[in-house]
Amino acid sequence: MSSIRTLRLFVAAARGGSFASAGKSLGLSAAAVGLRMKALEADLGVALFDRGPRSVVLNRAGRGALAGAEEVIARYEALSATAGEGALAGTLVMGALVSALMGAFADALWAVRRSHPRLDVRLFAGKSRDFAARVAGGELDAAIVVRPPYRLAASLAWTPLYAEPMVMIVPRRPHFALPRAARRILAEAPFIRFDRDAWTGYLVRRALRQAGVEVRDDMELDSVEAIVELVRGGYGVSIVPQLANVDWSADRALRIVPLPGVDVAREVGLLERSSHARMPATAAIKACFVGRPVR
């Protein structure tokens, strides 16, 4: 009889369209996943996939089996989550922004794991835009992401946890002439921009529109941490989220310059499916932020 692990692989292969992607999420090779799927098909007595050179597609029988497999997994996870006199248990698979792991989410995760030692949390670092599809497809139970700049599908839910104001950071020892006024700094200094295609990059564009300034783009990166280090080194200025739990006021290499008329914040929240078996665990994480202002 096939195991819950095999059923998870089946669902991951069905959602991801390949044995390689399914194996990556669970630490197996594509060949190992293929063998597991052949064993599952032998147990059920029916082929589940139409196999191609680099991809697999569910056939009619596979599409019929998918909902049943997801239901079995959900029932098993619900049983695991409620075992142990109400304590959370089992595995919660989450994605998180690297910057979130440095701040308030890390504190919340530590508190939840301390209260529920039987809960195993598997974390994957990455970008908000990539996590949305992985949550929707069931590869991740949830993800800590920036508020999406578009309307989510009805099958997804986003809960705000905390907010980080978008601020301008400048070096204390720049390698260029640094004007005194904020708008002149933006207009004249080398600007290190956050990736335009990222959700945080969208907020940078909003802040620049509010400031009414055209900047001199010098570099474009997709990491807040890398941008901060470049500003510290004196290579440019930037607009970034003021990371929660990071005290830049005491930083000897950079300083924050207020932007008149700019009121943009990066809202960070928990993205999950509207209904899934690990909701008690995600609810425990969200409860850590009750009372924290989101704007």
Distance CA 256, CA 252 (A): 11
pLDDT single digits (tens) 62-73:
988 988 888 887
Is residue 157 situated within a structural domain? no
Distance CA 241, CA 264 (A): 9
Is residue 148 situated within a structural domain? no
pLDDT value for 75: 72
Mean pLDDT of 107-131: 87
- End residue of a domain, out of 62, 82, 102: 82
pLDDT value for 143: 95
The whole-chain average pLDDT of the chain stands at 87
pLDDT single digits (tens) 136-192:
877 889 999 999 888 888 889 999 999 999 999 999 999 999 999 999 999 999 999
Residue 196 has pLDDT above 90, yes or no: yes
Residue 295 has pLDDT above 50, yes or no: no
**CATH for 208:** 3.40.190.10
Is residue 105 situated within a structural domain? no
pLDDT band at 292 (very low <50, low <70, confident <90, very high): low
pLDDT band at 87 (very low <50, low <70, confident <90, very high): low
**Do residue 256 and residue 167 come from a single domain?**
yes
Mean pLDDT of 74-90: 64
| Three-class SS of 189-224 | CEEEEECCCCHHHHHHHHHHHHHCCCCEEEEEECCH
Distance CA 216, CA 95 (A): 34
**CATH for 49:** 1.10.10.10
Residue 51 has pLDDT above 70, yes or no: yes
Is residue 135 situated within a structural domain? no
pLDDT value for 80: 57
Give the tokens for residue 121.
């949390």
**Residues of the domain holding 240:** 163-266
Is residue 24 situated within a structural domain? yes
Strand, coil or helix: what is 116?
coil
- End residue of a domain, out of 24, 47, 82: 82
pLDDT value for 221: 95
Among 177-181, 236-240, 261-265, 286-290, whose mean pLDDT is lowest? Answer: 286-290
Give the tokens for residue 295.
């704007």
Dihedral sign computed on CA atoms, order 251, 253, 257, 262:
negative
DSSP summary character for residue 15: H
Mean pLDDT of 260-270: 93
pLDDT single digits (tens) 208-230:
999 999 999 999 999 999 999 99
Residue 205 has pLDDT above 50, yes or no: yes
Is residue 280 situated within a structural domain? no
Distance CA 96, CA 106 (A): 10
Total count of domains within the chain: 2
- End residue of a domain, out of 19, 50, 82: 82
Is residue 94 situated within a structural domain? no
pLDDT value for 82: 55
Is residue 287 situated within a structural domain? no
Dihedral sign computed on CA atoms, order 285, 286, 287, 289:
positive
Dihedral sign computed on CA atoms, order 212, 218, 221, 226:
negative
pLDDT value for 144: 94
